[in-house]
């Protein structure tokens, strides 16, 4: 059991139960739900729905990170996410994550009430995000990416190379270890075989010593698996969530909360039974 330290005096226990991070894209072009929740009232209603279905965290994003997506300016991103974060924070019941790689956006989001910064560039595009996390106590998700860089041939070796550098940035800025969660970055400049290798060899990553967040939800990698069905991405998401939960992952960033909650409850029951038998 570990306690994830978050901004504004909040925290979240990790380990005993799989945690769900509900995806709330307030973008016009995200691959699964672009444009559906761009209005504040609709975004807030969807966040409430996800919380009632079992989401522990609401992850708010204002720029699509799908391959080939048109970049948003910092002003566009902020105009999309800040009113939603303020509305969520005003209710006082949500744990709020901001999905951004921009330090300025992250700072404004935490000031508006966000508790976690989820950086898909792993602090290596704008390292000031680490300084912000240290100053505010925000939880920090550090994701591996293969985009815009040369990679090692072995996918696990590349994870260690990239994330070790990210952790050096975090430590140099004064981020406490209890604030950090890692994300292997499924689908971010990784071939089908590399995504499968990440699943098969996931336990090797635990040597880094931090909790892990998993983001396979509805991604193309699910249809690249032999037999994968483009129409069954929620089933594929739940399957990978269960596999990686049994291998030690702690948090799952998903679109469909009830589907994954039900699947992960079975995984948690299996883990509890195994622990009881071993003890």
Give the residue numbers marked as catalytic. 219, 253
Indicate the helix (H) or strand (E) that contains 60: strand 57-61
* DSSP code at position 70: P
The residues that bridge with 253 in the sheet, in sequence order, are 21
* Cα-to-chain-centroid distance, residue 195: 16
Q: What are phi and psi of 204, to 5 degrees?
A: -65, -30
Structure tokens at 80: 């999309």
Q: With beta carbons less than 8 A apart as the criterion, state whether 193 and 164 touch.
A: no
- Give CA separation, 109 vs 58, 60, 84, 96, in Å: 13, 10, 10, 9
Gap between the Cα atoms of 105 and 114, Å rounded:
11
Residue 3 three-state SS: strand
Gap between the Cα atoms of 39 and 115, Å rounded:
22
Q: With beta carbons less than 8 A apart as the criterion, state whether 231 and 273 touch.
A: no
């Amino acid at each position: 059991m570990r306690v994830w330290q978050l901004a504004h005096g909040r925290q979240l226990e990790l380990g005993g139960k799989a945690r769900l991070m509900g995806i709330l894209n307030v973008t016009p072009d995200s691959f699964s739900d672009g444009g559906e929740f761009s209005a504040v009232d609709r975004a807030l209603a969807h966040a409430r729905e996800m919380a009632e279905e079992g989401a522990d965290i609401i992850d708010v994003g204002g720029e699509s990170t799908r391959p080939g997506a048109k970049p948003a300016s910092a002003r566009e991103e902020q105009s999309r996410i800040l009113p939603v974060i303020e509305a969520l924070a005003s209710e006082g019941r949500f744990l709020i994550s901001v999905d951004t790689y921009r330090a300025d956006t992250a700072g404004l989001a935490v000031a508006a009430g966000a508790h976690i910064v989820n950086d898909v560039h792993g602090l290596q595009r704008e390292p000031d995000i680490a300084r912000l996390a240290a100053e505010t106590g925000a939880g920090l998700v550090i994701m591996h990416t293969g985009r815009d860089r040369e990679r090692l041939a072995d996918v696990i070796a590349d994870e260690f190379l990239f994330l070790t550098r990210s952790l050096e940035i975090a430590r140099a800025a004064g981020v406490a270890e209890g604030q950090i969660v890692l994300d292997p970055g499924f689908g971010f400049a990784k071939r089908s075989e590399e995504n499968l290798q990440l699943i098969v060899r996931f336990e090797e990553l635990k040597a880094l010593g931090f909790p892990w967040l998993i983001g396979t939800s509805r991604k193309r990698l699910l249809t690249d698996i032999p037999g994968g069905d483009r129409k069954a991405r929620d089933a594929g998401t739940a399957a990978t969530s269960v596999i990686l939960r049994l291998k030690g992952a702690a948090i799952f960033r998903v679109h469909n909360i009830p589907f994954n909650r039900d699947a992960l409850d079975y995984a948690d029951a299996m883990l509890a039974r195994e622990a009881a038998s071993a003890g």
